[in-house]
Structure 1
């Protein structure tokens, strides 16, 4: 390793003396020769160059440096260096953020920073690192303050830059809410305590102080004559109108008071309200109205009628919203009730009303109820046609009556429509026309004519219940209040009073009869017939099922209540009659054997029912008369007996069937012989016709052979001619296609050559453009490199180098023991300084 160290201009090295352990600084340009007791600590490093408008911080700065002597090194301290001459770093010094930079200037440039420029309306937030005197102000460690622009801030080691504070732009319709982070005095000169909030509303740029925190930027609220705000005080304050407000107090502010409302500290917006507008014929009731002092009158009501408009104050609300006045026509009315004592002066006659009084107003009129009047109901006249009615109850006496049409009825103030309850069975019977049961019951057809479409759609319980009684039937209606019953005969219309109900009959039905299978409102007077299946047993214990049908009717006198009520004495007249007649039939058949009963069944049954000479029987309990009994079928109950009867019947049927089959067989044989003769005759006719057709076929074959021989020769000649013509056409077409192919081939070659030449030209042009762009970019790079070098060195440095060139060369030559020699031929002198410079550079 060489002991000579070449130090270029504006570079430096640190040399350690091993004997004294002192490090000294050597600055170029020079060739430094190391002694045996000296050690090179670092390669030549460039001096620190700080451009204008920049600075750097030196850590552990040296104080009063003297080469070869012990000097003071301020460990832990820092020093700010601004723009000036390039300077070296003394032993022990380092740049903040670039402690270990090398020979390249790029290593220490990151330690050189631009001076903070604070624009107008901006500020630089600083904090004190140590206690120090800042001009006229003494700063303690931890203190924070602003440096407001426009200014270029010169950093100090006693303060640290926290951030750049930007202003808040406040428009004319905006305000900014601020909060004090600690006790301070704001920019307006007001004393603020920690946590206190205030509003800044002046338009423009506002720069928050160091102890001020921006809470939120809020919009001013524009109020129109139709809008308002409910405000609430969250703390005791004075509002914008100058009125003292207590915490929790609420008030109203409208567009009539102010056009624009800025947010205020301690005031919260509860909600936005709009002006309530009442048009003609409208009204509303304000609950808890506010008096002149702004105090709500809880429990009070205020009536407002149109035409008017108003705002609802806090605590006020509309009872039922905006309502329309009651406009009553001729057929309408309203029922009113007083909720407190008052004097009714609506009409000419002044009436004193007491709480609870009830009265009714009839139309036509327009009515707006006062606050101490309650509207119970609005009514219309009830139009009732003939046979229609409603149940009306007097709510004072409880009496219920039926009002029948035709009329239009208006309820009085003490009257209400009364709903008449009905049992579910009666409801179902009315929907079905008066009778319900299974579908196989024949008597249900009687009730179809009495089905009311209105009842099917749903019964109005307040309307009078009516029922169309079918013809030849009777209906019993019971009055539970008077404990009386009345009978009506059809066809007629039954109308139920408020305390009346139908007498429902539970009848037997089916075959055999089952109890309660048919429910009916009507009793069929007849003449009608009843069919039943009765199980009997003969004297020789043969069990049989006898199906009998008998006519029935009732005997009564219209207008005679005794005979009318008597027909309803037996609720189930069908079951009663079947049981009575069945008992007589069973008793009579039990006395005769099966053979006798089988031969004389009708006489035995009729004798059992009607006796020797009678042709009808009458039940005195309900005046029911039974006549004209018919036996429809008799079947054994025992299976063996039923099988024996079936076999005997089957044998008789077989005998009859055999005779019928023999007659049919004889007739079939005769018909077969006739058909066979007709068949033989038809065969002979068909053979004759066949021979005639064959003769015609042979003639046609001969003609076909002659035509075929002539046509073959003609076809061959035509085929040869067409073949020759086709060959000629094919050769002509082939020649034409070959010529087209050659033309296409030549045209394709020409186009390919044109494209090839075009692409070659394009390629050459692009190559030339690339070369040209390359040359331009190389030139730009060289120019940019030269500019960067000039900018790095600085204009002043280049000027100094240009002026001090010959002097520095002489000094370099003198430093190595050489002198500048001029070699000349008498016309152009040659300076050998370049040679020495090259030698020095080579050594370095």
Structure 2
């Protein structure tokens, strides 16, 4: 049985005849009996045929060769000829039925569905051998082209699919930038060289050419009345507006040219340019303005533009200092101007460097040849205020005081410099300077004097207080440095004014008695300056002694030491006041102590001396003196204590009796108030008990009323709920019954409509059959005998119809035997 092979339908085997070495094809269905000289080369089991479904293909290797009449090419040995090393693509249209593979034929891979190319896509095809396609295009190896969708791609052996290419979507206000890989003709018919860039601006789907590379998608720049763009040409070309542009040229694209602009391939985007708007009180200076006649910028020039107007700055132009406002001057304002170039202004010829002023009230817009140095305003000055003014031509400085002053063109404010010491003293007096151009003032206190020195005239002047000192530009304050502290030290006090007195100065000195007892004295000197307020020379004498306090204290200390040195300790202890006053003031001719002492060099008069303390410097002396003083103090203290004790005991007895009296009176008042309190408590308790009982009764009444009302409300709500429930059930039943009635009515209507439509169809069908038979035929049938009727009906193919009139429409189909009788030989069809 191994030599018998059953080949089912659509199967085949290859059988090798070992005698002739020829391999043949056997196709089922059949029973193959293998001979001894035959060999099945396809295996034990038959091989199924290849079936290509619709819209599919298969690739066959070593395909058979066919003659022009589609028959197989067979060699002289009976072997089917094949194209060795070649391939063939077979489609369903050519092979709708399953087909076997001839000897040496092989199927590559599996049966593959045809490739469907969607709209806006394409397949990039490359030719692998020279051939001529269906459109008579001669293709050479390496050629590239597109198979564009929508469509179904049928592959060829001579070509291969490189990749699928999708069309680029170009939206409105977009453009596609392309670059040529080699010389070609673009979609618009323009010849492009290798490496050349161009734009596709038409909205829609664009499929780049085979040798076109998409660089990027460009978005359009939106231009408005308030925004433009500046671009630069990278090479000479003609732009989209038909204007010739040179390499490096810069220009503006505004909304007047186009509402949208896409940067061309030979254009370089510089930036957005906003519109410059000037109102009627504004102006600007444009540097390097653009000249439309020359078509270029006038570098180094300036152009003034004023409102009301608006414009875009052309590339190369710039604003000097931005948009400026016209100078609106009040009647107390002015502009200081300086000419940068020669010009004629205000009725005069101005040379470069000239300075002049424009006074208000007015509005002024300076030309480009004029530089505005500053806006000046009249400086209002009080009678006690002033400013320093410097003439820049002569260099002289003067002060203007007590009037409103406007600086002249050749004048400027000058700052007065003071020493650090003077600045500090002014700050301590609360008169610190914030504006150094203001005249320096100092409030001289009452009964004081200030000296001011003029370095220009080398003359000093004095001012008596209370008064306001105002310095001229060449004057400076005289700083007074006085001694201070206890004992006096040099340079402790710094001040701008000297008090005229009367005042005092306290000093501590050490003296020695004749018995060598060393004492420390604290003396206070009362002094004053004795000057004539109407004589300025006496005023200046006050400042002849630089440190009059130190001079006074040192001079008097030396006189006191001399006087104390001639007296013993006991004598000085008994007569210290006389000794010191005698040494300070001296004696007159009659031997009495003088009332004062005068310093003639500065008219300082010493009017009194006060001995504030006398203390021995030696410790033992101090202790003995302290003991005697302490004993005296103790005796005095004990006497005073006894007197105070007696007085306090008497006062205590009086206070105690008064207190007991007050206590008894208070007790009586308390008892009276307690009686009133108990009475009020009893009344309060009665009211409280009555209130509690009344409130309890009212609460119980309200409770019962609320419970009854709640039960009533609950009963009403339950009744209403039950009523609503019943009404809902009734409504639900009514709605359900109405829906069922409506549903049944619609079903009946549909049944009636269906029966009516079927009757109409049958009527139309019957009418059509009658019309197809014809009235003559019916007449002949009615007149002919049964045999003739049968023959006629047999010839017409009608075996089951019955004739009747329209008044009795009896539809007895499939009853031809009863109508035609036994003459009908054919059996009726059910």
Q: Is the 8 A contact 1:336 1:360 kept in 2?
A: yes
Task: Kindly indicate whether the alpha-carbon contact (under 8 Å) linking 2:80 and 2:103 is maintained by their aligned counterparts in 1.
Answer: no
Aligned to 2:420: 424
Are 1:267 and 2:267 counterparts?
yes
Alpha carbons 1:17, 1:39 under 8 Å: kept: no
- Which residue pairs with 1:336 in the alignment? 337
Question: Higher mean Cα deviation, 581-590 or 486-495?
Answer: 581-590
Would the aligned equivalents of 1:16 and 1:22 in 2 still touch at CA under 8 Å? yes
Select 1:633's aligned residue among 613, 616, 630. Answer: 613
For residue 181 of structure 2, what is the aligned residue in structure 1?
181
In the superposition, the TM-score normalised over structure 2's length comes to 0.69
Q: Does 1:55 align with 2:65?
A: no
Equivalent pair of 1:144/1:210 in contact (CA under 8 Å)? yes
Whole-Å Cα distance in 2 between the matches of residues 543 and 12 of structure 1? 155
1:413 aligns with 2:413: no
* Equivalent in 80, 92, 104 of residue 89 of structure 2: 80
Tell me by how many angstroms 1:516 deviates.
Answer: 2.2
Q: Is the 8 A contact 2:74 2:81 kept in 1?
A: no
1:117 maps to 116
In the TM superposition, what is the alpha-carbon distance from 1:519 to its structure 2 partner? 1.4
Closer/same/farther in 2, CA of residues 545 and 181 from structure 1, 3 Å limit:
farther
Change (3 A) 1:570 1:670: closer
Cα distance in 2 between the residues matched to 1:661 and 1:282: 96
Seen in structure 2, the aligned counterparts of structure 1 residues 672 and 359 have a Cα distance that, compared at 3 Å, is: closer
Q: Matched residues in 2 for 1:15 and 1:213: separation?
A: 56
What corresponds to 1:310 in structure 2? 311
Separation in 2 of the partners of 1:537 and 1:130?
Answer: 141
Measured after TM superposition, the shift of residue 165 of structure 1 is 2.3
Secondary structure at the counterpart of residue 553 of structure 1: strand
Residue 675 of structure 1 and its aligned partner are, at CA, apart by 14
User: Which runs of structure 2 are paired with 1:470-619 in the superposition (5 Å)?
Assistant: 470-612=445-587, 613-619=593-599
Residue pair 1:18, 1:38 contacting (<8 A) in 2 also: no
Q: Per-residue CA shift, 1:199-250, capped at 9, x if unaligned?
A: 2223443221011112223344454455433221111112345443221111
Equivalents in 2 of 1:487, 1:274: separation in Å?
68
Q: How many residues align?
A: 640
Residues 634, 123 of structure 1: alpha-carbon distance in 2 compared, 3 angstrom cutoff:
same
Show CA shifts across 1:811-830 (max 9, x none): xxxxxxxxxxxxxxxxxxxx
| Alignment of 1:198 onto 2:198 | yes
CA separation of 1:93/1:659 partners in 2, compared to 1, >3 Å: closer, same or farther?
Answer: farther
Structure 2 CA distance for aligned equivalents of residues 94 and 580 of structure 1: 144
- Which residues of 2 match residues 694-843 of structure 1 at below 5 A? none
Q: For each residue in 1:86-113, what CA deviation from the matched residue of structure 2 results, as whole angstroms up to 9, or x when unmatched?
A: 24556776554x4xxxxxxxxxxxx333
> Which stretch of the first structure deviates more once superposed, 65-74 or 27-36?
65-74
State the secondary structure of the residue aligned to 2:373.
Answer: strand
Determine the C-alpha separation between the residues in 1 that align with 2:19 and 2:636: 162
In structure 2, the residue matched to 1:385 is 382
- Measured after TM superposition, the shift of residue 151 of structure 1 is 3.3
- Offset at residue 196 of structure 1 (A): 0.7
3-state SS of the aligned residue for 2:57?
strand
- Cα 1:388–1:667, aligned 2, differ >3 Å: closer, same or farther? closer
TM-score under structure 1 normalisation?
0.68
Aligned to 1:597, what secondary structure does the other structure show? helix
> Cα distance, 1:520 vs. partner?
0.6
Is the Cα contact below 8 Å between 1:16 and 1:41 reproduced in 2? no
Label 1:660 to 1:393 Cα distance change in 2 as closer, same or farther (>3 A).
closer
**Alpha-carbon distance between aligned partners in 2 of 1:20 and 1:572, rounded to the nearest angstrom:** 155
Greater shift in the superposed pair: 162-171 or 12-21? 12-21
- Contact 1:16 / 1:40 at 8 angstroms: preserved in 2? no
Question: Structure 1 residues 655 and 74 mapped into 2: Cα distance closer, same or farther (>3 Å)?
Answer: farther
Q: Which residue of 2 aligns with 1:793?
A: none
Deviation by residue 1:626-663 (Cα, 9 ceiling, x = unmatched): 22111111234445554554455455555666677788
Equivalent in the alignment of 1:400: 397
Q: Secondary structure at the match of 1:408?
A: coil
The answer as to whether partners of 1:393 and 1:401 remain within 8 angstroms in 2 is yes
Mapped to 2, the partners of 1:675 and 1:327 lie a distance apart of: 89
Q: CA deviation at 1:667?
A: 10
* Contiguous gaps of at least 5 residues in structure 1: 99-110, 434-450, 678-684, 686-844
Report Cα offsets for 1:11-38 as digits up to 9, x if no partner: 4567899999999876555666789976
Are residues 21 and 601 of structure 1, via their aligned partners in 2, closer, same or farther at CA, if it must alter by over 3 Å?
A: farther
Alpha-carbon distance between aligned partners in 2 of 1:591 and 1:77, rounded to the nearest angstrom: 155
CA apart distance, 1:381: 1.4
In 2: Cα distance, 1:639 partner to 1:130 partner: 137
Cα deviation for residue 43 of structure 1 reads 5.9
Residue in 2 that maps onto 1:624? 604
Contact 2:380 2:405 in 1 (8 A): yes
Unaligned runs of 5+ in 2: 66-71, 588-592, 658-663, 665-830
Q: Which residue of 1 aligns with 2:754?
A: none
Indicate the larger mover: 262-271 or 43-52: 43-52
Find the counterpart in structure 1 of residue 280 from structure 2: 280
Question: In structure 2, how many angstroms separate the alpha carbons of the residues matched to 1:643 and 1:75?
Answer: 148
Q: Which residue of 2 aligns with 1:293?
A: 294
1:480/1:663 CA distance change after superposition, 3 Å: closer
Q: Is the 8 A contact 2:13 2:41 kept in 1?
A: no
* CA–CA distance in structure 2, aligned partners of residues 491 and 669 of structure 1: 60
> Which protein has greater RCO, CA pairs closer than 8 Å, 6+ apart?
1
Task: Mark the CA change 1:249 to 1:611 in structure 2 (over 3 Å): closer, same or farther.
Answer: same
Cα displacement string for residues 703-722 of structure 1 (whole angstroms, at most 9, x for unaligned residues) = xxxxxxxxxxxxxxxxxxxx
Query: CA, structure 1 residues 624+50, in 2 after alignment: closer, same or farther (shift >3 Å)?
Result: same
Change in 2 beyond 3 A, CA 1:339/1:26: same
* Bigger mean CA offset, 58-67 vs 385-394: 58-67
